[in-house]
Amino acid sequence: MSTQQAALELSPPSPSAPSRPAHAAAASALPQARFYSKWSPRWLALPFPLFLLLLWYVAARFEWVAPQVLPSPQSVLLTFGDLVASGEMFDNLRISLLRVLFGFGVGLIGGLLLGVAMGLSPVFKDYVYPLFKAFSQVPVLGWLPLLMLLVGIDEALKIILISKAALVPIALNTYKGIENVPARYVEVARVLKFSRWQLLWRVIFPAALPPIWNGVRYGFTHAWLALVVVELLASSEGLGYMIVFGRQLFQLDVVMAAVVVVGVVGYTLDQVLARIEVLLLGWRRSGF
């Protein structure tokens, strides 16, 4: 027994901090937990967007802001209907989705390979990780001028920037997930005489899957944001181009219709990834 442990056991409890039974502390925490559960801000999930929509309608109705700057919800809805009926909205949405899926796929493969290599090989990590951290600190817009000179403004530029945006969080989360696998898992695997491949596929990767999947979700979010930025600056088609085109012609109803579609599609795709996460990690919940 160490000296500090002996001193802690022999010293009397401090009178200024009286001990409380565990059940008493838990009982006192229950009303507080119920209070926060009852008054959770989740009940604002529907009324708050409706309040913003009402505020938008009132501001446009009474022209608190000039109609040329803030079109009414009815105008945006009519414009959205016209864009859908003409097929322009679907064509640009299809182009944007193809771009982001292809770029995200390239970033996903590269991020997983890089993260696994850094997580499993300390030597590789020592050589690559500092350069990778410096590379990740440069935002997408920082690479745009250089890449425009190297590859032009065609699809290659967009795919490279989207891939870079997705690769960074995927690689970081994959590396951290593998690095933080509890050592006791590896010790048990060695006791059971697992081979290297069994250790990877039955211990390392399953234990690192939650942070890896978080990196995948963050990577897709960054890829979607990079898509919009790239299309705003260097594109002749896509949702970002619709926003720029509407701004240049001062058609704010087109701009807002495209912005709403960008937000709704991005949120929907993130929810799809969240559902896939439930399926992939359901075994962890059933184990507790």
pLDDT digits (tens, 9 = 90+) for 200-212: 888 888 889 999 9
Nearest-angstrom CA–CA distance, 95 and 104: 14
Nearest-angstrom CA–CA distance, 212 and 179: 11
Q: Which two tokens stand for residue 144?
A: 């745009």
Give the pLDDT band (50/70/90) at residue 42. Answer: low
Residue that has been written with the tokens 């929810």 in this structure: 271
188 pLDDT higher than 90: no
Nearest-angstrom CA–CA distance, 74 and 56: 11
Nearest-angstrom CA–CA distance, 141 and 229: 8
Q: What is the pTM of this model?
A: 0.77
Give the pLDDT band (50/70/90) at residue 142. Answer: confident
Q: Which two tokens stand for residue 122?
A: 């300390």
Give yes or no for a contact between 120 and 262, defined as CB atoms under 8 angstroms apart: no
Give the pLDDT band (50/70/90) at residue 172. Answer: very high
